[in-house]
Amino acid sequence: MELTDISSYEHFLLVADSTKSLNSTMRSYVEFKEVFKVVEQCAKSDTEHITYEGQLIDKPIQRNEAQKALTAYQKRKWDMAFSTVSNCLNVQLR
């Protein structure tokens, strides 16, 4: 199997193995998917707010930070913007 054919969970595990900010567990994966969705929302526009769980909240990171984090993740690298977002959302990745 080539690295381009891996599942999203396998991709997560490769990133988790490269950082101490993530555990390589299914629970961490589920929590990370929630954080990832918020980072994607932040990357889509320059507005100051996003919708999270039906409420309007301040964006935890700016658009350029979110885009940088998404690019790093695609390259199987960790970006601290994910930790920033998880802290703002009170989501534990460890």
Domain residue spans of the chain: 3-89
Three-state SS sequence of 45-82: CCCCEEEECCEEEECCCCHHHHHHHHHHHHCCCCCHHH
Q: Is the pTM of this model over 0.75?
A: yes
| CA distance linking residue 8 with residue 38, whole number of Å | 17
| CA distance linking residue 83 with residue 91, whole number of Å | 9
**pLDDT, tens digit only, all 94 positions of the chain:** 566 689 999 999 999 999 998 999 999 999 999 999 999 999 999 999 999 999 999 999 999 999 999 999 999 999 999 999 999 999 998 8
